[in-house]
Amino acid sequence: MSQTRRLIRQTMTIARRDFIATVFTPIFLLFLFAPLIMVAFSTIGALGAAQAADHGSDRVRIVAIVSDATATAFAAADRQSRTIFRRDEEPPELVTLPPARDPAAQARAAFESPDYDATAVLYGPLDRPTILYGARGQRAADYLTVLATGALSAERLGGELPKVTPRKLAFSRQRATLGGQNQTASLAVFGVFFLTLFLAGQVVGTMAEERSNKVIEVLAAAVPLEAVFLGKLLGMFGVAVLFIGFWGTVLGQVASLLPPAFAGMVGELSPAVGLPMFVMLFVAYFTMAYLLLGSVFLTIGAQASTMREIQMLSLPITIIQVGMFTLTLSGLSQPGSWLALVAEVFPLSSPFAMAGVAAASDALWPHAVALAWQALWVALFVTLGARLFRRGVLQSGSTRPFWRRKGA
Amino acid sequence: MDNQWAVTASGLAKRFGDRRVVDGVDIAVPTGAVYGVLGPNGAGKTTTLRMLLGIIEPDEGQRSLLGHAHPRDASDLVGYLPEERGLYPAMKARDAIVFMGALRGLDRATGRVRADELLEQAGLGHAADSKIRKLSKGMAQLVQLLGSVVHRPKLLVLDEPFSGLDPVNQERLEALILGERDRGATILFSTHVMAHAERLCDRLAIIAGGRRRFEGTVHDARGTLTAQVRYRPRDPERVLPELLPADAVREGADWRFPMPEQGIEPILGRLLTAGAGILNLSIERPSLHEAFVRIVGEQEMAA
């Protein structure tokens, strides 16, 4: 068997063991369903807030003190204007009152009405009405002005506004919108970051298992340490893919149940390279981000000898990740700047930055270069990690560190 | 490269910090032999084995393993039981054996079949589906040993395989080692228990203080000490000191002295002529234990 094939076989043996040991445990279920807990809490929160808001807004009204004839025109204008609002952005319901002798006093009294909470009240002649508004009633006052304009126009035109019957056709644009690209870029960077933040950190403690139960000696004797490191990395990556695959499927199913308006928003995501290529690049950059950060964490974690040390490492690790994320975002906001270039070239931030580039620019060759560059760094980190481990933990290296060699 | 030697090493040396843990060891293990590496605790046995297997790199010296200059190239043909035993506690016994085979290139299906066979033969058939953490230490050790032979290695390296086993399991292990030899494997093992070495080894090396102090058969090792003669006369009155070698020592009714170079016959002749007679006479060949203690002791005196 050739060297490479043997290395692949050894790596996959290690990866398979790690994957199985991680996935077939009760704890993994807890890990897998952790997002449910988040979703559950935010749902409860949202429901509660909506309920509270509903209770309040039920009785809010805008009030127009106008004659009966004008009231009809007001109602018509209200019906027409209301169509442009989304359901939860609609202005409060309209109430019309016939004018009493002193409309100003009547308007003030409307705010005290036991039947509703008036937020804005209109009275007086239609071309120069007075509108009283309460706290947070400014938009309602504007809306009343619009209604008054409609009613006045109808009156001047002889009782009714002219009718417009449009022909509405859906049209999908071929070119990605610039706004969509920017939004997609930020989303891509955030997506890669979010996924690696939660998943890559898991790698840090994996070598501790072998060190504490002495299996490392069996592994080190049978296969090269590089295969052990890479195998562990791939095993945990498999776990991450399983996690994402599971939630991706779930969310996909949920999304297909959502109202079409939401699906329309997804359609707004318009990466410059086109959606299928973008998805492929996104997956590729997530893989690279995971492998790069994972290999660094694995290397650092392998040097730690106790669980305590590993726990201490989790803060610097999160900080590194957030640092890479901010670097990328700063680069993204100034495309073409040296900062953007640094983010694209520096190995640890490169996958994030390039995922952003995929959304904003349609050239494909930079991605080929970037992926090769990142893969090179994964190989470097794994080799370095194995070498450090061999030296420090297996006590293979006996040459003194250079700073102590003198005077030996 | 001929197949005469399964393992060769010359001038292997390893420093940890300032200490030379292994200081120029030569070893040649003939193919098909059971070869013992003996030495006191801390002699450098484990480090030597780890260098031979390529787990760590020597600072000096050459080695070859099954004809490969890089021991790693032969790793699929080697089985190894480290001194520090370790298995994944959450794995089932059968899976642990299959996994260890897979690390050495054995496909899983074959591994599973052989694992069940091996467990059955070792009297652990009932434990195939038990997790390692549920097994006793000795049982886990046997499982690990089975895992190191499941791929039928050409070379089996066992580091202190008998430590931690009860006498019954030690017997089983000896049988397993001989079984592997009969299959055609070369076995290299380290121990500081002489009895096992004496029973099993075709050849052995004694390492002390990071150096090889002896290499040869058990017979050769014992031959490094002269036999002791124990003599009890029929009539103690007639034994005069000049009849016996100068270094004879009296122990109660017995005289004890090392076997002279020209043999025992001239002395017996003189004793019989003097009428001392022979009530009891024994020639005690030194045990491996004594040879070991002397060889290692010399080194300690020198150090």
Q: Judge whether B78 and B187 are in contact, CB under 8 Å.
A: no
**Residue A408 included in any domain:** no
Q: Judge whether A64 and A144 are in contact, CB under 8 Å.
A: yes
Interchain pair A396, B15: CB under 8 A: no
Whether pLDDT at B2 is above 60: no
Whether pLDDT at A81 is above 90: no
**Residue A184 included in any domain:** yes
How high is the pLDDT of residue A54? 62
Residue A67 maps to which CATH number?
3.40.190
Interchain pair A21, B82: CB under 8 A: no
Q: What average pLDDT does the segment B177-193 reach?
A: 92
A78 and A196 belong to one structural domain:
no
Interchain pair A13, B103: CB under 8 A: yes
User: Is B166 in the A-facing interface, judged by CB distances under 8 Å?
Assistant: no
**Residue A247 included in any domain:** yes
Token reading at B159: 């580091």
- Give chain A's mean pLDDT: 82
Q: Give chain B's domains with CATH numbers.
A: 5-222 (3.40.50.300), 226-285 (no CATH)
A397–chain B nearest CA distance, Å: 8
**Residue A165 included in any domain:** no
Instruction: Report ipTM for this prediction.
Output: 0.82
Query: Residue A199's closest CA among A226, A253, A235?
Result: A235
How high is the pLDDT of residue A402? 42
A129 and A197 belong to one structural domain:
no
Which residues in chain A are contacts of B144 at CB distance < 8 A?
218
Whether pLDDT at B154 is above 80: yes
User: Is A216 in the B-facing interface, judged by CB distances under 8 Å?
Assistant: yes
Whether pLDDT at B115 is above 90: yes
List alpha helices for A258-306, DSSP H. Answer: 260-268, 275-303
Interchain pair A220, B87: CB under 8 A: no
Confidence of residue B129 (pLDDT cuts 50, 70, 90): very high
A203 and A149 belong to one structural domain:
no
- Token pair 């049978």 in the structure block, residue: A222
Confidence of residue A403 (pLDDT cuts 50, 70, 90): very low
Query: Residue A356's closest CA among A178, A187, A177, A175?
Result: A187
Which residues in chain B are contacts of A396 at CB distance < 8 A?
55-57
A145 and A212 belong to one structural domain:
no
How high is the pLDDT of residue B24? 87
Tally of domains within chain A: 2
Confidence of residue A17 (pLDDT cuts 50, 70, 90): very high
Interchain pair B89, A390: CB under 8 A: no
Residue percentage of chain A with pLDDT more than 70: 89
Closest chain A residue by Cα to residue B102: A13
A84 and A149 belong to one structural domain:
yes
Q: What is Dmax (Cα atoms) for chain B?
A: 79
Q: Is B158 helix (H, G, I), strand (E, B) or coil?
A: strand
> Which pLDDT tens digit goes with each residue over B13-48?
988 878 888 888 999 999 999 999 998 888 889 899
Query: Residue A286's closest CA among A328, A247, A244, A250?
Result: A244
Q: Judge whether A140 and A133 are in contact, CB under 8 Å.
A: yes
Whether pLDDT at A379 is above 90: yes
End position of a domain, from candidates A96, A121, A156 = A156
> Which pLDDT tens digit goes with each residue over A120-172?
999 988 888 999 988 878 888 899 999 889 888 888 887 777 778 888 887 76
Backbone conformation region of residue B61, classed left if phi is above 0, alpha if psi is from -120 to 50, else beta = left
Token reading at B21: 């843990």
> Which pLDDT tens digit goes with each residue over B217-258?
888 888 888 888 888 888 888 877 778 888 888 888 888 888
Q: Judge whether B150 and B108 are in contact, CB under 8 Å.
A: no
User: What is the distance between the alpha carbons of residues B48 and B190, in angstroms, rounded to a whole number?
Assistant: 10
A222 and A133 belong to one structural domain:
no
How high is the pLDDT of residue B179? 92
A224–chain B nearest CA distance, Å: 8
Confidence of residue A268 (pLDDT cuts 50, 70, 90): low
Interchain pair B53, A221: CB under 8 A: yes
Q: Which residue has the higher pLDDT, A396 or B65?
A: B65
How high is the pLDDT of residue A56? 57
A152 and A223 belong to one structural domain:
no
Interchain pair B55, A220: CB under 8 A: yes
User: Is A192 in the B-facing interface, judged by CB distances under 8 Å?
Assistant: no
B59–chain A nearest CA distance, Å: 8
**Given B55, B87, B147, which is nearest A394 (Cβ)?**
B55
Taking CA atoms, B229 is separated from B54, B232, B245, B273, in Å, by: 47, 10, 11, 19
**Residue A17 included in any domain:** no
A347 and A207 belong to one structural domain:
yes
User: Is A390 in the B-facing interface, judged by CB distances under 8 Å?
Assistant: yes
Can you spell out the DSSP letters for A210-256?
Answer: HHHHTHHHHHHHHS-HHHHHHHHHHHHHHHHHHHHHHHHHHHHHHHH
Token reading at B210: 């990071």
B54–chain A nearest CA distance, Å: 7
**Residue A26 included in any domain:** no
- Token pair 């058939």 in the structure block, residue: B125
A3–chain B nearest CA distance, Å: 8
How high is the pLDDT of residue A398? 41
A189 and A132 belong to one structural domain:
no
**Residue A217 included in any domain:** yes
A145 and A202 belong to one structural domain:
no
Interchain pair B56, A17: CB under 8 A: no
Q: What average pLDDT does the segment A21-50 reach?
A: 84
> Chains A, B: CB contacts under 8 A, how many?
74
User: What is the distance between the alpha carbons of residues A8 and A1, in angstroms, rounded to a whole number?
Assistant: 11
> Which pLDDT tens digit goes with each residue over A204-239?
878 888 887 888 888 988 999 899 999 999 999 999
Q: What does chain B come to in residues?
A: 303
A181 and A240 belong to one structural domain:
yes
The helix (H) or strand (E) run that includes residue A20 is: helix A3-23
Residues 89-128 of chain B with CB under 8 A from chain A are: 89-91, 99-100, 102-105
User: Is B77 in the A-facing interface, judged by CB distances under 8 Å?
Assistant: no
How high is the pLDDT of residue B186? 95
Closest chain A residue by Cα to residue B75: A222
A242 and A117 belong to one structural domain:
no
> Which pLDDT tens digit goes with each residue over A310-340?
888 878 888 888 888 888 888 877 877 888 8
Confidence of residue A407 (pLDDT cuts 50, 70, 90): very low
Range of the domain at A76: 59-156
Alpha carbons within 13 A on the beta-carbon side of A341? 3
Strand pairing partners for A302?
Answer: none
**Residue A183 included in any domain:** yes
Candidates B73, B78, B103, partner chain A, best to mutate (most A CBs within 10 A): B103
